[in-house]
Amino acid sequence: MIEEEERACDYFNELKLTLQMFCLFPWTDLFQMHAEDFIQEKLSEAASIMATPGIEEDPIHLHGLRRLVASAIQEVELVQQPGYAATCAKEDGAIVWDGRGYAIKNSSATSLLNTCSELI
């Protein structure tokens, strides 16, 4: 599942870069549409697993799908935040991708996020 989480992280990073470079109108709307498609794909996969009883790995796979959906939702929330706050947090290493989306790395990062939020 770690490989799938890494692919999802790479997918969202590449999608953000591509949309920012080539979209003439707000890219965040297109990003949200792609993220919603990703979420629906993972929810469909979870529904098919739940409809097929009997495999022992189902709970593990379902948990991984839950994490991917949560990550996609968090990606959408990050792009909807004011650009400076999200960029400030990422560039200073305050938040890192941990397989379930972004997580605050340490306590000093919390004060950095608060400082960035106050600047906006």
Give 44-79 pLDDT, tens digit per residue. Answer: 998 888 887 766 667 788 888 888 998 888 888 878
Position 117 scores a pLDDT of 47
Backbone angles phi, psi at 98, to 5 degrees: -120, 20
Residues in contact with 30: Cβ distance below 8 Å, sequence separation at least 6, in sequence order: 19, 23
Whole-structure pTM value = 0.68
